[in-house]
C-alpha cells in the first residue's frame, strides 16, 4: 500500500517538460549583446574603452535610482518621487559642501539622511493611509520639488569643495568614481534581494500580498524598508549628480523617475510585482545608456531617441506579458 | 428513435498533448439527450482539457467529435456556442459592473438603431425584458437590471445557466458548480438541473463530491491520467467501485481511526464577537482533539477563524491560549504564539505562486533560518525537504514554483508552511476543497497524526462526511450565532443540519431571497 501510494503521488506531479521555458529571462540580455555587436559594426567609435567608460558613467545615476525603484516595484508599488528626491538630497548636500566649511562626511551624511527621511515618509504615508503608492509619491514628488527650491532659495548652489567634487568627477585606480559607487550599490542590492530575509519577503509581498500577510510577514514593515532604501539610493544618486555638475541644482532630476522605472521594467521586473532581478535592472539601465549613446554616435537627433526609447519600454512590457501568459 | 440518434454528442479517439506531454489519450465519451452525465477523475486526469476541447478553447490533436451526427471541427468558442454547447465555469466568468441582462446577452447584444440612422446601439430594454422572462422560467426572482456584483455566487451561477439556456444550449457543461454555494442553493440548482433534463438538455457534470454525483447523475464516465477508464450507469456503480476506477487502486478507511488522547484545554474562546459577523462564540479546544466548526455558507465559520488568527479584529470576548488571556492582533502574533491557519482561499491567502516550493514552505518560519540579516539557505533547504518528504508533496524539484503544482500539492505546501512554524493548534479551513480523493486521504491521515502528536486541530468544513469522520466535537454556527456544541455521540448529519438552520427561517435560505 505504501509503495503504491508513493508511486501514485509520483505520477500526479507535473512533469518538468511542461514547465515554462523562460525565454524572456535571458531575452533582454541577448538583446543587449546583439545591440552592442550591431553598434560596434556600425561605428568604430562605439567599442572603445573611452566610449564605454562614458556610457557606464552616464548610466550610473539612472542605475542607482533604478535599483531603488526595483525594490519598490517588486512589492507591487511605485516611486514617482525619485527625481525630486535627487534634487532635495543634492541641494541639501551642496549646502554643507562649500570648501573649508565641514569635513566631507557631513554633506554626504546629511544628504543621505535627507533621502532616508524622505523615503521613510513615503513608506509611512503609504502603509498608514492605504492610499495607492502612485498617488502618494505623485504628491511627494511635487512636495520634494518645492522643498528643493525652498532650501536653495530657488538658486543653484555652487562653489563646492574639491573633495566633494571628487565623488562625481574623480577616479579610483583609473575607474571613474561613479562607476565604483554603481558597482558597490549593485552588489549590495543584489545581496539584499537574493540572500536576506528582507529580500525574500519583498518577493513574497509582490507575489501575493494577502498570502504574505497571512503567513505572518509584517507587510507594512517591509514596505517601510523598501521605500526607505529607494530614498537612500536616490540620495546617493543626488550626491553623485551634484558632485558631477559641481552645483546643487533645485531643478535637477526632473523626469529621472521615469527612466529609472523604464530601466527596471526593460530589465524584466514585473509591473505587478513579485518577479525581477537587480542584474536585469542593471542591464535595462545599460541598454538605455547604450541606445542613447549609439544614436548619438550615429548622429540621430535626440527627438528620435525618445521615440525609440518609448517603443523599447512597451516592447519590454509586451515581452513580460507573453512570458506570463506562457507560464 | 434509433440508438445513434439518441446520442447528442459522441466523441471517439480524442487525443491531445501539451509540449510532448499527453493530456488526453484516445478518449471516448457518449452523451444522451436529457441525461446528467458525471465526468469524474482526479485532478490532472484530463477533465478540463477534454471540456476545453468540447467548447472550442483548445484544439484536439486527433479524434472526432460528433454533435447531432455532424462532425464538430474545432473552431472557437463562439462556434461551439452556436452549436449549442455552453460551459459554466468554476470561476465565474461574469462582468461585475454590468447588469444581469447585459451579462446574459454578453457578446450577442440585441442591437437597435438610434433616430433611425445611427446603428450599433445596444437595446437594453429588449434585453432586460427577455432576461426577465428567462429568469422567471428558471424560477428566479432576480431583477435583470441589477448589476451582477450584487449577486451571490449561487445567483451568478443561475444567471450563467440562464445565459446558456438563452443560447439554446443543448449541452451544458457544469464545472464544480456547487463548490462555493450553500446546501439550500445546491438544492435549488438541482431542481433547475432536473427541469433542464426534462426539456432534453444534456448536462456534463464535473464534481469531486460523490454524494452529489449519486444524487443527480444518470451516468458516470471516469478518466484517469488522460485515459478513458469507463462509463457506467450511476445505479450500477457503488462508491468504492468509483474510487477504484478513479485512483486505480482501492482506498479503504478514508477516515483513519485515531488513537489520540485528549489533553488539557489549549484554546478557550469566551464570548468572542465581531460586529456584523458573529456573536458570543464559546468553546474550548483540547490537545489531541479535532474540533469541527460546521454551518452553512455565510454562517460565520471562516470569520471566527480569521478573528482567532489576527486577520480580522474581534470586537468583543476573550481568547485564552494555554490558560493565559491573549490578544492576537496580526497573523505573525498568532504564529509566534503557536497557532497556525490554513485558509479556505488557497490562491488568495495560501501561497506565493512565483516563489519556489522551498521558499513557500519556509515563508512563515524564515526567522528560524536566519544568519544575521541573511537567510541560512542550508538549514532552510533541509527543513523544507524534510517537509516535502513528510507530506509526500509531489514536485519535480525543490525549486519548482508552487503556481504550477496541482491543487492537492499546493494545499500540502500551504499546510507544510504552517507546520514548519511548529504550531500547537492548527486551524484548517476547508482543507480539502477542490483537491482529489488521494490527496484528501493524505490530509485526513495527517490530521490524525497531528492529534496523536498532541496538537489540537480546528477543522472547518462544508463536507459533512469530513466532520462526521474526523471530529471529536463540533461547534455548529448559524447566522453568526453558535447554535450547538455537539459531543462525539451527538454528531450526526441530522443534528448538525438541524442546528445549522436554527436561526434561519426556511424562506431566508431560499435562492429567491430578495
> For B369, which residue in chain A has the nearest alpha carbon?
A197
Question: What is the predicted pLDDT for the residue at A325?
Answer: 56
A198 chain-B contacts, CB cut-off 8 A = 373
Best residue in B224, B341, B352 for a mutation probing chain A (most A CBs within 10 Å): B352
Q: Please give the grid coordinates belonging to residue A80.
A: 514617482
Mean pLDDT of A184-196: 95
Round to whole Å and give the CA distance between B51 and A271. Answer: 33
Question: What is the predicted pLDDT for the residue at B72?
Answer: 77
B355 chain-A contacts, CB cut-off 8 A = 203-204, 207
Q: Are residues B323 and B409 in the same domain?
A: yes
Cell numbers 432576461 label which residue?
Answer: B131
Cell numbers 485512483 label which residue?
Answer: B247
Mean per-residue pLDDT of chain A: 88
Does the beta-carbon distance from A327 to B403 stay under 8 Å?
Answer: yes
Residue B138 lies in a domain: yes
pLDDT tops 90 at residue B505: no
Residue A58's CB is within 10 A of a number of other CB atoms, namely: 17
Q: Which CATH number fits domain A48-326: 3.40.50, 1.10.287, 1.10.3470, 3.40.30?
A: 1.10.3470
Q: How crowded is the C-beta side of B500, counted as CA atoms within 13 Å? A: 25
Q: Which helix (H) or strand (E) covers residue B457, if one does?
A: strand B456-460
Instruction: Report the residue from B249, B331, B336 with minimal CB separation from A213.
Output: B331
Residue B254 lies in a domain: no
Q: Are residues B157 and B98 in the same domain?
A: yes
Question: What is the predicted pLDDT for the residue at B304?
Answer: 95
Q: Are residues B330 and B284 in the same domain?
A: yes
Q: Which positions ≥6 away from B93 have C-beta within 8 Å?
A: none
Does the beta-carbon distance from A204 to B363 stay under 8 Å?
Answer: yes
A195 chain-B contacts, CB cut-off 8 A = 374-375, 377
Phi/psi-derived region of residue B30, left when phi > 0, alpha when psi is between -120 and 50, beta in every other case = beta
Tell me the Cα Rg of chain A.
Answer: 22
Instruction: Report the residue from B332, B354, B404 with minimal CB separation from A216.
Output: B332
Instruction: Supply the DSSP string of A180-220, one letter for each residue.
Output: HHHHHHHHHHHHHHHHBHHHHHHHHHHH-HHHHHHTT--HH
Round to whole Å and give the CA distance between B148 and A270. Answer: 31
Q: Are residues B114 and B19 in the same domain?
A: yes
Q: In 3D, which of B349, B346, B57 has the Cα closest to residue B179?
A: B346
| CB distance A177 to A171 below 8 Å | yes
pLDDT band at B95 (very low <50, low <70, confident <90, very high): confident
Cell numbers 452553512 label which residue?
Answer: B296
Query: If you count residue pairs, one on A and one on B, with CB atoms under 8 Å apart, how many are there?
Result: 124
Q: Are residues B15 and B107 in the same domain?
A: yes
Mean per-residue pLDDT of chain B: 86
Q: Please give the grid coordinates belonging to residue B140.
A: 428566479
Domain that holds residue B347: 265-509
Weakest-pLDDT range from A96-110, B9-23, B481-495: B9-23
Residue B178 lies in a domain: yes
pLDDT tops 80 at residue B504: no
Does the beta-carbon distance from B331 to A215 stay under 8 Å?
Answer: yes
Residue B167 lies in a domain: yes
A8 chain-B contacts, CB cut-off 8 A = 247-249, 438
Q: In 3D, which of B419, B391, B342, B377 has the Cα closest to residue B351?
A: B342
pLDDT tens track for B397-452: 888 999 888 888 899 999 999 999 999 999 999 998 878 788 888 899 999 999 99
pLDDT tops 60 at residue B351: yes
Round to whole Å and give the CA distance between A121 and B391. Answer: 44
Distance from CA of A5 to the nearest CA of B (A): 9
Weakest-pLDDT range from A246-250, B27-31, B114-118: B114-118
Distance from CA of A226 to the nearest CA of B (A): 15
pLDDT tops 90 at residue B377: yes
A3 chain-B contacts, CB cut-off 8 A = none
Does the beta-carbon distance from B355 to A5 stay under 8 Å?
Answer: no
Distance from CA of A167 to the nearest CA of B (A): 29
Round to whole Å and give the CA distance between A225 and A198. Answer: 8
Does the beta-carbon distance from B364 to A8 stay under 8 Å?
Answer: no
Best residue in B344, B374, B443 for a mutation probing chain A (most A CBs within 10 Å): B374
Mean pLDDT of B49-53: 88
Does the beta-carbon distance from A215 to B364 stay under 8 Å?
Answer: yes
Q: Which helix (H) or strand (E) covers residue B232, if one does?
A: strand B227-233
**Sign of the CA dihedral running B18, B23, B26, B32:** negative
3-state helix, strand, coil in chain A (%, to 5): 75, 0, 25
Round to whole Å and give the CA distance between A267 and A193. Answer: 15
| CB distance B140 to B511 below 8 Å | yes
Q: Please give the grid coordinates belonging to residue B326.
A: 491573549
Question: What is the predicted pLDDT for the residue at B2?
Answer: 43
Core vs surface per residue B343-357: b (16+ CB within 10 A) or e: bbebbebbbbbbbbb
pLDDT tens track for B151-198: 887 788 888 888 888 888 899 999 888 877 777 778 888 888 998 899
Mean pLDDT of A245-271: 92
| CB distance B388 to B395 below 8 Å | yes
Question: At B348, is the secondary structure helix, strand, or coil?
Answer: helix
Mean pLDDT of B455-478: 92
Mean pLDDT of B235-242: 87
Question: What is the predicted pLDDT for the residue at A323?
Answer: 63
Q: Please give the grid coordinates belonging to residue A85.
A: 528626491
Q: Which helix (H) or strand (E) covers residue B306, if one does?
A: helix B301-308
Does the beta-carbon distance from A208 to B353 stay under 8 Å?
Answer: yes
Distance from CA of A194 to the nearest CA of B (A): 9
Does the beta-carbon distance from B397 to A16 stay under 8 Å?
Answer: yes
- Phi/psi for A104 (5° steps) reads -50, -35
| CB distance B434 to B464 below 8 Å | no
Distance from CA of B428 to the nearest CA of A (A): 13
B352 chain-A contacts, CB cut-off 8 A = 203-204, 207-208, 211-212, 274
Question: At A260, is the secondary structure helix, strand, or coil?
Answer: helix
Round to whole Å and give the CA distance between A267 and A276. Answer: 8
Residue B456 lies in a domain: yes
Question: What is the predicted pLDDT for the residue at B92?
Answer: 66
Q: How many residues does chain B have?
A: 514
A18 chain-B contacts, CB cut-off 8 A = 18-19, 21, 404
Q: Please give the grid coordinates belonging to residue A296.
A: 548619438
Q: Please give the grid coordinates belonging to residue A288.
A: 538605455
> For A193, which residue in chain B has the nearest alpha carbon?
B374
Q: Are residues B205 and B271 in the same domain?
A: no
The ipTM, to two decimals, is 0.81
Mean pLDDT of B293-311: 91
pLDDT tops 60 at residue A7: no
Question: What is the predicted pLDDT for the residue at A128?
Answer: 94
| CB distance A55 to A286 below 8 Å | yes
> For B224, which residue in chain A has the nearest alpha carbon?
A12
Residue B259 lies in a domain: no
Q: Are residues B280 and B317 in the same domain?
A: yes
Instruction: Report the residue from B335, B394, B417 with minimal CB separation from A9.
Output: B394
Q: Please give the grid coordinates belonging to residue A207.
A: 507575489
Query: How many folded domains does chain B comprise?
Result: 2
Mean pLDDT of A53-75: 96
B438 chain-A contacts, CB cut-off 8 A = 5, 8-9, 12
Question: What is the predicted pLDDT for the residue at B262?
Answer: 87
Residue B255 lies in a domain: no
B346 chain-A contacts, CB cut-off 8 A = none
> For B43, which residue in chain A has the nearest alpha carbon?
A12
Mean pLDDT of B271-288: 93
Q: What is the crossing angle of helices A23-42 and A302-326, to 10°?
A: 150
Round to whole Å and give the CA distance between B48 and B92. Answer: 15
Question: At B394, is the secondary structure helix, strand, or coil?
Answer: coil
**Sign of the CA dihedral running A63, A64, A65, A66:** positive
Residue B107 lies in a domain: yes
Between A327 and A127, where is the model more confident? A127
Question: What is the predicted pLDDT for the residue at B514?
Answer: 34
pLDDT band at B338 (very low <50, low <70, confident <90, very high): very high
Question: What is the predicted pLDDT for the residue at A271?
Answer: 86
CATH number of the domain enclosing B296 = 3.40.50.300
Question: What is the predicted pLDDT for the residue at A168?
Answer: 92
pLDDT tens track for A15-27: 333 333 344 556 7
Residue B182's CB is within 10 A of a number of other CB atoms, namely: 22
Residue B155's Cβ-count burial label (10 Å; 0-12, 13-18, 19+) is buried
Best residue in A215, A221, A273 for a mutation probing chain B (most B CBs within 10 Å): A215
Q: Are residues B62 and B147 in the same domain?
A: yes
Weakest-pLDDT range from A153-167, A283-297, B1-15, B467-481: B1-15
Q: In 3D, which of B178, B176, B201 has the Cα closest to residue B188?
A: B178
Q: In 3D, which of A221, A252, A222, A225 has the Cα closest to residue A111?
A: A252
Instruction: Report the residue from A13, A16, A274 with minimal CB separation from B394.
Output: A13
Amino acid at each position: 500500500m505504501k509503495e503504491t501510494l508513493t508511486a501514485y503521488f509520483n505520477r500526479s506531479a507535473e512533469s518538468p517538460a511542461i514547465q515554462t521555458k523562460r525565454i524572456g529571462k535571458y531575452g533582454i540580455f541577448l538583446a543587449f549583446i546583439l545591440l552592442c555587436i550591431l553598434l560596434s559594426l556600425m561605428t568604430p567609435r562605439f567599442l572603445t574603452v573611452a566610449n564605454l567608460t562614458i556610457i557606464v558613467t552616464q548610466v550610473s545615476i539612472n542605475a542607482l535610482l533604478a535599483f531603488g525603484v526595483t525594490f519598490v516595484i517588486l512589492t507591487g508599488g511605485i516611486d514617482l518621487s525619485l527625481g525630486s528626491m535627487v534634487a532635495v538630497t543634492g541641494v541639501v548636500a551642496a549646502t554643507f559642501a562649500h570648501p573649508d566649511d565641514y569635513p566631507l562626511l557631513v554633506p554626504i551624511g546629511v544628504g543621505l539622511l535627507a533621502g532616508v527621511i524622505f523615503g521613510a515618509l513615503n513608506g509611512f504615508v503609504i502603509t498608514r493611509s492605504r492610499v495607492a503608492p502612485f498617488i502618494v509619491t505623485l504628491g511627494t514628488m511635487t512636495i520634494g520639488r518645492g522643498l528643493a527650491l525652498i532650501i536653495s532659495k530657488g538658486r543653484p548652489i555652487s562653489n563646492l569643495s574639491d573633495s566633494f567634487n571628487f565623488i562625481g568627477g574623480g577616479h579610483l585606480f583609473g575607474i571613474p568614481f561613479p562607476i565604483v559607487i554603481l558597482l558597490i550599490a549593485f552588489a549590495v542590492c543584489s545581496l539584499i534581494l537574493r540572500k536576506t530575509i528582507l529580500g525574500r519577503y519583498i518577493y513574497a509581498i509582490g507575489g501575493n500580498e494577502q498570502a504574505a500577510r497571512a503567513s505572518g510577514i509584517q507587510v507594512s514593515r517591509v514596505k517601510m524598508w523598501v521605500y526607505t532604501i529607494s530614498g537612500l539610493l536616490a540620495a546617493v544618486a543626488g550626491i553623485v549628480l551634484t558632485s558631477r555638475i559641481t552645483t546643487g541644482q533645485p531643478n535637477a532630476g526632473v523626469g529621472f523617475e521615469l527612466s529609472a522605472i523604464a530601466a527596471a521594467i526593460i530589465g524584466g521586473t514585473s509591473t505587478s510585482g513579485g518577479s525581477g532581478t537587480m542584474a536585469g535592472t542593471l542591464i535595462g539601465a545599460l541598454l538605455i545608456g547604450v541606445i542613447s549613446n549609439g544614436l548619438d554616435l550615429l548622429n540621430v537627433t535626440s527627438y528620435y531617441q525618445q521615440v525609440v526609447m518609448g517603443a523599447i519600454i512597451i516592447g519590454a512590457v509586451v515581452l513580460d506579458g507573453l512570458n506570463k501568459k506562457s507560464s | 428513435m434509433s440508438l445513434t440518434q439518441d446520442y447528442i454528442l459522441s466523441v471517439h479517439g480524442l487525443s491531445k498533448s501539451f509540449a510532448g506531454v499527453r493530456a488526453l489519450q484516445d478518449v471516448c465519451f457518449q452523451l444522451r439527450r436529457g441525461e446528467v452525465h458525471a465526468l469524474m477523475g482526479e485532478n490532472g486526469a484530463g477533465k478540463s482539457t477534454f471540456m476545453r476541447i468540447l467548447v472550442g478553447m483548445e484544439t484536439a490533436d486527433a479524434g472526432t467529435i460528433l454533435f447531432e451526427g455532424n462532425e464538430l471541427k474545432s473552431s472557437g468558442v463562439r462556434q461551439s456556442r452556436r452549436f449549442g454547447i455552453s460551459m459554466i465555469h468554476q470561476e465565474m466568468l461574469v462582468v461585475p459592473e454590468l447588469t444581469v441582462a447585459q451579462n446574459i446577452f454578453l457578446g450577442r447584444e440585441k442591437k437597435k438603431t438610434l433616430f433611425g440612422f445611427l446603428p450599433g446601439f445596444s437595446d437594453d430594454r429588449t434585453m432586460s425584458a427577455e432576461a426577465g422572462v428567462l429568469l422567471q422560467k428558471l424560477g428566479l426572482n432576480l431583477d435583470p437590471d441589477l448589476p451582477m456584483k450584487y449577486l451571490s455566487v449561487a445567483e451568478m451561477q443561475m444567471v450563467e445557466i440562464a445565459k446558456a439556456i438563452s443560447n439554446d444550449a443543448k449541452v451544458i457543461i457544469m464545472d464544480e458548480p456547487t463548490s462555493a454555494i450553500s446546501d439550500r442553493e445546491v438544492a435549488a440548482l438541482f431542481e433547475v438541473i432536473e427541469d433542464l433534463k426534462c426539456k432534453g438538455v444534456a448536462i456534463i457534470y464535473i464534481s469531486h463530491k460523490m454524494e452529489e454525483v449519486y444524487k443527480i447523475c444518470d451516468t458516470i464516465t471516469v478518466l484517469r491520467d488522460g485515459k478513458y477508464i469507463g462509463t457506467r450507469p450511476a445505479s450500477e456503480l457503488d462508491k468504492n467501485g468509483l474510487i477504484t476506477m478513479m485512483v486505480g487502486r482501492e482506498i479503504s478507511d478514508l477516515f483513519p481511526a485515531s488513537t489520540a488522547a485528549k489533553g488539557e484545554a489549549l484554546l478557550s474562546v469566551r464570548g468572542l464577537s465581531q460586529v456584523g459577523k458573529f456573536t458570543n462564540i464559546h468553546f474550548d479546544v483540547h490537545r489531541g482533539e479535532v474540533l469541527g466548526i460546521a454551518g452553512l455558507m455565510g454562517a460565520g465559520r471562516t470569520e471566527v477563524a480569521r478573528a482567532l488568527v489576527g486577520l480580522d479584529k474581534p470586537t468583543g470576548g476573550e481568547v485564552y491560549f494555554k490558560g493565559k488571556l491573549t490578544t492576537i492582533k496580526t497573523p505573525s502574533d498568532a504564529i509566534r504564539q503557536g497557532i497556525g491557519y490554513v485558509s479556505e482561499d488557497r490562491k488568495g491567502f495560501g501561497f506565493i505562486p512565483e516563489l519556489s516550493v522551498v521558499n513557500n514552505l519556509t515563508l512563515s518560519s524564515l526567522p528560524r533560518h536566519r544568519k544575521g540579516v541573511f537567510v541560512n539557505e542550508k538549514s532552510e533547504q533541509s527543513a523544507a525537504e524534510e517537509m516535502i518528504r513528510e507530506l509526500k508533496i509531489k514536485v519535480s524539484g525543490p525549486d519548482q514554483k508552487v503556481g504550477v503544482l496541482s491543487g492537492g500539492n499546493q494545499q500540502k505546501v500551504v499546510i507544510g508552511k504552517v507546520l514548519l512554524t511548529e504550531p500547537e493548534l492548527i486551524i484548517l479551513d476547508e482543507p480539502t476543497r477542490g483537491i482529489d480523493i488521494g490527496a484528501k486521504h493524505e490530509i485526513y491521515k495527517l490530521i490524525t497524526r497531528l492529534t496523536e502528536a498532541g496538537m489540537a486541530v480546528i477543522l472547518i468544513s462544508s463536507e459533512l462526511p469530513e466532520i462526521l469522520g474526523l471530529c471529536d466535537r463540533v461547534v455548529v454556527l448559524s447566522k453568526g450565532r453558535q447554535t450547538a456544541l455537539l459531543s462525539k455521540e451527538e454528531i450526526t448529519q441530522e443534528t448538525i443540519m438541524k442546528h445549522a438552520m436554527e436561526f434561519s427561517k426556511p424562506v431566508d435560505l431560499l435562492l429567491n431571497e430578495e
